Amino acid sequence: MKSFFERLRVRRLASTFVLLATLSAAIVAGSFAAHGVRGQEQQASSADATPLKIVNSTIPPNEFVKIAHEVAPAVVNINTQTLPKQSDNRGRRNFHFRAQPNPQNPDDGQGDDDQQGQGQDNFQDFFNRFFGGQIPGQPDGGDQGGQVQESLGSGFIVDPKGYIITNNHVIDKADKIYVKLSTDPDTQDLGRPARVIGVDKATDLAVIKIDTNTSLPIVKMGNSDEAQVGDWVEAIGSPFALAQTVTAGIISAKNRTIEPGASGQFQHFIQTDAAINPGNSGGPLLDMNGNVIGVNTAIYTQSAGYEGIGFAMPSNTVVSVYNDLISPSHKVVRGSIGIQFREGLSSAVNRVYGFKNGVLVQEVQPGGPADRSGIKAGDIITSIDGRSIKDGDDLVNEIASRKPGSTIRLGFLRDGKQQDTTVTIGDRDKVFAELGNQQTEQNPESSGDAGETKLGLVVRDVSPSVAQKIHNSGVEIESVRTGSFGDLQGLEPGLIITHVNKQPTANRDQFEAIVSKLKTGDDVVFEIVDPKHPEEGINVVGGTL
């Protein structure tokens, strides 16, 4: 049964159509009345009228036409289905969730050898990754009322055997994935079943495959490093389920990092004003040679639609990730030396510490690669294998590209004196998994950011006035990280958590102490009160971490 708001929306749309039809009829009637021409069309003579003819154009097709004709057969429509999950739906069904900005705090500038600070928090309020697929009648893509959720995206074939590149967020958490080729009949409901070969969340890329008995058309991968700001580009995809849509624009900027901190450390996008919208995700961005120079991934918008700023993952990054994902391990392995550094230091710090270019080490992971090689907090990394390091970006890219087990010669400053040491590169995932385990063991009772790290929740103590209003104590949710465990349970800023796993969370310290003990695979159940609707009492939501 449709909700009150859905019924109201349908009635409003129907009223709008009726109003438009009525106005059109009134305008036509008024025109006839004003000019006194009703019925005169039967009496007018058209003997002197010349029939129109269609003239064939002699102008040859432009480059956009040629590229669309050449590349479009290799661009596919991707549909996914996600089966309803109780933990994902219950919270959203019970609470009065309202559309409101969810501002993120500016990045504090801290980083590790896999992280850099950007401080571009203005992108966060309205930064939409477009999962594309709203089910018809579900304009906000929200609660599906226990129904199967469908999403829409794009992709392109890179191997005639059926290997396809798309965005990870297009197929993430999907139970079923379907691919429709440009040659598949429209009567085919969803398309051909596809399976996941590998995903890389750090770059939001995925490789999927369909079975085929014939050789499929493919795209050519171009060199994104050669692309210049101002170059013409063309995008092809399935915005709003409109397959094989072609748009054009220029490259507006390069090397855009739009998410601060660890989430954006390997994402350096091409910015374009070619129109891309929900459903374009995973589609190709093409240069004027018809080569793919990017994968359309995200837009900056205040309206959930195109506003002239889109972002594509560069093809050079895509090719590197793809080759890793089709390898036997089906994963991207990145190097790490186990340090944390502070990015974006002022020139005053550089002058006092005596360096112009380089990275100031803030913390060294005990027992990690850098620690075993004698690197200490306060050292300034200036070079790798004799090549000068400009900044944190440079350091991250250089180390991440190295294979675990390989060695590098690290140049650094300590107390103003130039030194160097040999460091054996570690596997990034393993290095920081060990770091997380060490932190948990060192402080098992309480971790100041356990709620944010494990659940994606930042909380604060409830004010006395709010506690009196809800007749309970608890912690108020300040922010929820998109895609986090808390977000998947439907939690939003402003809600009050009174218990976690039946244990009271009367203040932030209690909340953090409880959360710090949670491990992957644990069941986590929240007791929630909405202070705007305290009459609804306690709502219970939860899932498996």
Write the pLDDT tens digit of every residue in 498-528.
999 989 998 888 999 899 888 888 888 898 8
Nearest Cα neighbor of 116 from 391, 484, 348 is 391
Q: Specify which residues 206 forms β-bridges with.
A: 166, 199
Residue 10 gets which letter from DSSP?
A: H
The residues, ordered by sequence, that sit 6+ positions from 320 with a Cβ below 8 Å of its Cβ are none
465-494 mean pLDDT? 85
94-116 mean pLDDT? 37
Tell which wins on pLDDT, 342 or 297: 297
* Separation of alpha carbons 448 and 138, rounded Å: 39
Q: Phi first, then psi: what are they for 339, rounded to 5°?
A: -130, 165
Q: Pick the catalytic residue from 112, 114, 143, 204.
A: 204
Asked if pLDDT for residue 284 goes beyond 70, the answer is yes
Tell which wins on pLDDT, 15 or 244: 244
Determine the pLDDT at residue 89: 41
Q: Which band of pLDDT confidence, cut at 50, 70 and 90, is reported for residue 19?
A: very low
Write the pLDDT tens digit of every residue in 314-358.
999 999 999 999 999 898 989 999 988 866 666 777 777 777 788
Q: Pick the catalytic residue from 114, 143, 169, 315.
A: 169
Active site residue 281: yes
Neighbours of 4 (CB within 10 A): 7
209-225 mean pLDDT? 95
- Which of 5-14, 22-31, 113-122, 418-427 has the weakest average pLDDT? 113-122
Prediction pTM value: 0.63
Q: For CA atoms 151, 205, 359, 348, give the dihedral sign.
A: negative
Active site residue 35: no
* Separation of alpha carbons 55 and 70, rounded Å: 26
Q: Pick the catalytic residue from 224, 252, 263, 281.
A: 281
Domains of the chain and any CATH numbers: 63-100+116-332 (2.40.10.120), 335-429 (2.30.42.10), 445-544 (2.30.42.10)
Beta strands in 238-306 (DSSP E): 245-256, 269-272, 284-286, 291-300
Question: Mind spelling out the 3-state secondary structure of 452-513?
Answer: HHHHCEEEEECCHHHHHHHCCCCEEEEEECCCCHHHHCCCCCCCEEEEECCEECCCHHHHHH
Tell which wins on pLDDT, 457 or 101: 457
**Please, are residues 370 and 344 in contact by the beta-carbon 8 Å criterion?**
no
Region of 509 (left: φ > 0; alpha: ψ -120 to 50; beta: rest) is alpha
Active site residue 204: yes
Determine the pLDDT at residue 152: 85
174-193 mean pLDDT? 84
* Separation of alpha carbons 168 and 165, rounded Å: 9
